[in-house]
Amino acid sequence: MVVSRLCGVSVALLLGSLIVCGVGVAQEPAENIGLHRPYRCSVPLLVGWTGLVDGNREADTAPECFATANIDKFPKHITIDLGATCTINRVVVYNSANGNTRKVSLECSVDAQKYQHLRQGFIFPDRTAMALSHEFKPRQARYVRLTLYDTWGNGLGGDNCMFLREVEVYGRRPHAGVAQPPNPLNAFKGQAMTVAYPSLKILRRYCLNNKDAPLRIWLLGDSFAVADEEAAHWTALLTARIEERYEKTPEVEFGGCSAFTLTDCQLFLRQQEDNEPDLVILTLGCDAAVSQLQVPAFRAAAGDIIKLLAEKTNAVVVILTPPPVAHNKSLKLYEVAADVDSAAYAWQLELLAQTQKLPVVRSGAVLGNSSYDLEDVYADNMHLSDRGHETLAIALDRLLAGE
């Protein structure tokens, strides 16, 4: 069955038009394996418009609808990470009635480096909530990419805001234990490492660059925020860099623990009742990935923690996403890491940050865009090396400094 909709046009006419366009009509596979998966866009998103793979096909408003920022840069690319090499045979793209989105192409890849075409140059009618349902012979892919070539113009938000209601990828996930790509960092190459907001400018002016002002920092989160006393760690390395750059010793409070919850955050806040922070760095998702917590449950829990920090402090909150889990046979803990994937949790954390306009450091992009090989930045498949921690500390330091 072709899932499609065109306002004011009969279903029969629409089906005929889709067949003329070369869109296959076939029985729908059992599972939408793109649901709630992370995606990356080559340009920033319109704030709050993030619902590309949230399961809502109907909404033309935020946050259920997706939109890019009004940036005159084409083509624009959106890449969905399925989390493992899957067998796919159908992609459905739901256009928005908000306008602008015109010619699109579909591609897929196993390694995020070499892409093969699935559907080239399909043109959506302007301001039409229509669905392109494209079926093809089953093939292996981990990444599905949409390329947006141009705009109709005069749409909501400006000529270059590209809107989509939803994207679905149908197929089958591999059985447990199937080998993962040896270098998950490839998918992050070229992605911006950080996302900044004006709140950082205020922090720099009145706190960081003011030698007479105290600097109070909270480092919160799950086990990725807990330092190993026998090894370098991003928390200690960042503190040292801040002290050197701003020539003052920050007052640092550590609040990391395994599976950091809202209750843990509440307890920490009570303990720090008279110690108002200037800066909070929060990282979550590492332990959720290991325990394979349901992604919606993680998003809700992380959202509650971020909301609590916003209500109880006046600090600038910076989000540090969890690093990708390596799946490299040359590193230790290969079998332990086989079914662990932190990408979906990192993305949900970033979506929450984007909604609240919180600065972000994308660990995957930081590590993927470094000059080091995967074996240099990972101690084993589950943990970063000293160099990996140093690379993240440098990225955090440079974000705070506005570099």
pLDDT digits 0-9 by tens, 104-154: 999 999 988 899 999 999 999 999 999 999 999 999 999 999 999 999 999
d(CA 311, CA 37): 29
Q: For the chain, give every residue range classified as CATH 3.40.50.1110.
A: 184-401
Bridge-based pairing state of the strands 316-320 and 360-361: parallel
User: How far apart, in Å, are the Cα atoms of 103 and each of 95, 109, 120, 149, 200?
Assistant: 11, 21, 9, 6, 38
Q: Is the dihedral of CA 53, 281, 247, 365 positive or negative?
A: negative
Mean pLDDT of the chain: 90
Q: What is the DSSP letter of 206?
A: I
pLDDT digits 0-9 by tens, 179-225: 556 688 888 888 899 999 999 999 999 999 999 999 999 999 999 99
pLDDT at 8 over 60: no
CATH of the domain spanning 184-401, picked from 3.40.50.10470, 3.40.50.1110, 3.40.50.1860, 3.30.479.10? 3.40.50.1110
| Token representation of residue 203 | 């922090």
User: How far apart, in Å, are the Cα atoms of 137 and each of 24, 115, 122, 140?
Assistant: 10, 16, 19, 10
Q: For the chain, give every residue range classified as CATH 2.60.120.260.
A: 11-172
pLDDT at 79 over 70: yes
pLDDT at 261 over 80: yes
Q: Is the dihedral of CA 50, 294, 287, 369 positive or negative?
A: negative
pLDDT digits 0-9 by tens, 152-167: 999 999 999 999 999 9
CATH of the domain spanning 11-172, picked from 3.40.50.300, 3.40.30.10, 2.130.10.10, 2.60.120.260? 2.60.120.260
Of 8-22, 113-127, 309-323, which range is least confident? 8-22
Q: What is the mean pLDDT of residues 272-296?
A: 94
Q: Classify the phi-psi angles of 112: left when phi > 0, otherwise alpha if psi is within -120 to 50, otherwise beta.
A: left
Q: What pLDDT is attached to residue 101?
A: 97
Q: What is the DSSP letter of 248?
A: S
> What's the whole-model pTM score?
0.83
Q: What is the mean pLDDT of residues 278-296?
A: 96
